[in-house]
């Protein structure tokens, strides 16, 4: 090999070595620069005291000159949430610092969620750390039902983990915004998610407006309240100037209230040789029962027909109550210390010869359901619904 060739060879080797060194340095410098230019992203959340609303957020730090296309938060009941789950909120602000998104009634109660903040640049989406949280149990109040002169059925619903046992209840008063322990209250323990009812009996006064709020007691003994409802105990005059004895709490099947005539009558139930089908003793069936009795009885006089031809203060829609309806009426009066004596017909049939009546037993201090011949003269207490 000539000296000239050797020199050329060494020059080539030196050139390649310098080129390799420069490439390595440039690659290291570029990697260092890229790492320095990746903004950092962190995730956080804050929850209000009653667990109904939550704020999710994040924070972008060391943004530098990188352009943020969008930023936001995503959440899921599964780990590693991404925006592909479609549960996310975002904005398009190209700024550094903290950002927040409020969620109102968008999450299920008593559920564990995972959340991540994110931002997007021209290089793609960058996610922050994963944070988990549990939404609180939620208690709601429904409309009060079965309102009488001194009683009411209060209703609620709680959503919580199936293993949880919590104290729920109702605070009630004649003034708005009742509070547990300060005002009257009733409670019960509920495990898991469930609808529940609590009946207040003889704790109320007739013809009064009451305000009620449901509540749930947390582990620290603090109360979280539902919205407020109100109800009006019966015992006031109805449209026909009778005594309103019962309020369903809402309109269904075209009616809500039962009104009782202040007048009593005497009449036989009907024919002792006629069976009338489908006239049960269920609550709410008295109107239909009476129509059917009149239809089958024709021109014959009966307790149901007597009710139907009555006109009081312009109203002629009176009927004979069923066994359940009449029991509710008589027991409501008794809760006030008023006992109505005598045997009263109901629109409920026993067989073709007999029907049911109700009478107060002085010895047992209870109302008795009796079976009487249909041609017997008993008292009648007409009622109407509206």
pLDDT score, position 12: 57
pLDDT score, position 16: 53
- Average pLDDT value for residue range 288-302: 92
- Average pLDDT value for residue range 354-367: 96
Residue 43 above 70 pLDDT? yes
pLDDT score, position 303: 97
pLDDT score, position 218: 86
Q: What is the pLDDT of residues 147-186, one digit of tens each?
A: 999 999 999 999 998 999 999 999 999 999 999 999 999 9
pLDDT score, position 56: 95
CB count in 10 Å sphere of residue 44 = 17
Residue 376 per-residue DSSP state? S
Residue 31 above 60 pLDDT? no
H/E element holding 266?
strand 265-268
- Average pLDDT value for residue range 38-59: 82
Q: Which domains, ranges and CATH numbers included, belong to the chain?
A: 38-133 (2.60.40.10), 136-231 (2.60.40.10), 235-383 (no CATH)
pLDDT score, position 6: 56
pLDDT score, position 47: 67
Whole-number percent of the chain with pLDDT over 70: 89
pLDDT score, position 146: 98
Total number of residues shown for the chain: 386
**pTM, 2 dp:** 0.77
User: Distance between terminal CA atoms of the chain?
Assistant: 122
- Average pLDDT value for residue range 327-345: 93
Q: What is the pLDDT of residues 217-249, one digit of tens each?
A: 988 889 999 999 999 999 999 999 999 999 999
pLDDT score, position 13: 53
Residue 62 above 80 pLDDT? yes
Secondary structure (DSSP) of 277-341: SS----TT-HHHHHHHHHHHHTTS--HHHHHHT--BTTB---B---HHHHHHHHHHHHHTT----
pLDDT score, position 33: 44
Task: State the average pLDDT for the chain.
Answer: 90
pLDDT score, position 32: 39
Residue 327 above 60 pLDDT? yes
Q: What is the pLDDT of residues 74-98, one digit of tens each?
A: 999 999 999 998 899 999 999 999 9
- Average pLDDT value for residue range 53-68: 93
Residue 25 above 70 pLDDT? no
pLDDT score, position 167: 96
Task: At 128, list the tokens.
Answer: 């922050």
Residue 10 above 60 pLDDT? no
pLDDT score, position 85: 84
- Average pLDDT value for residue range 342-354: 97
Distance (Å, whole) CA 313 – CA 327: 26
- Average pLDDT value for residue range 264-274: 95
- CA-nearest of 345, 333, 329 to 380 is 345
Q: What are phi and psi of 38, to 5 degrees?
A: -85, 110
pLDDT score, position 27: 42
């Amino acid at each position: 090999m000539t000296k000239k060739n050797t020199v050329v060879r060494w020059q080539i080797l030196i050139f390649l070595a310098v080129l390799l060194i420069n490439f390595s340095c440039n690659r290291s410098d570029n990697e260092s620069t890229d790492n320095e230019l990746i903004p950092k992203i962190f995730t956080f959340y804050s929850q209000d005291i009653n667990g109904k609303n939550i704020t999710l957020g994040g924070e972008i730090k060391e943004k530098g000159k990188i352009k943020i296309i969008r930023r936001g938060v995503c959440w899921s009941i599964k780990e590693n949430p991404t925006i592909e789950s479609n549960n996310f909120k975002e904005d398009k602000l190209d700024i550094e610092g903290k950002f927040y998104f409020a969620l109102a009634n968008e999450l299920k109660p008593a559920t564990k969620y995972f959340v991540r903040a994110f931002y997007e640049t021209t290089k793609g989406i960058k996610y922050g750390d994963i944070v988990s949280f549990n939404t609180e149990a939620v208690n709601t109040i429904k409309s009060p039902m079965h309102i009488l002169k001194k009683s009411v059925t209060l209703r609620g619903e709680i959503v919580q983990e199936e293993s949880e046992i919590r104290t729920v209840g109702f605070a009630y008063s004649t003034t708005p915004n009742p509070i547990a322990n300060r005002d009257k209250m009733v409670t019960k323990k509920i495990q898991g998610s469930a609808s529940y009812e609590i009946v207040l009996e003889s704790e109320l006064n007739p013809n009064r407006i009451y305000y009620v709020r449901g509540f749930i007691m947390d582990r620290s003994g603090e109360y979280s309240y539902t919205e407020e409802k109100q109800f009006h105990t019966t015992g006031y005059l109805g449209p026909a100037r009778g005594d309103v004895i019962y309020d369903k709490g809402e309109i269904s099947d075209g009616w809500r209230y039962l009104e009782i005539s202040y007048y009593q009558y005497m009449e036989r139930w009907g024919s002792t040789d006629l069976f009338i089908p489908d006239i049960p003793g269920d609550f709410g069936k008295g109107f239909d029962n009476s129509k059917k009795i009149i239809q089958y009885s024709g021109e014959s006089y009966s307790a149901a027909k007597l009710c139907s031809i009555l006109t009081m203060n312009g109203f002629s829609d009176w009927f004979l109550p069923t066994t359940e309806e009449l029991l509710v009426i008589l027991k409501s009066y008794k809760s006030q210390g008023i006992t109505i004596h005598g045997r009263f017909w109901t629109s409920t049939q026993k067989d073709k010869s007999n029907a049911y009546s109700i009478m107060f037993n002085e010895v047992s201090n209870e109302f008795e359901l009796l079976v009487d011949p249909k041609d017997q003269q008993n008292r009648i207490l007409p009622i109407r619904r509206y």
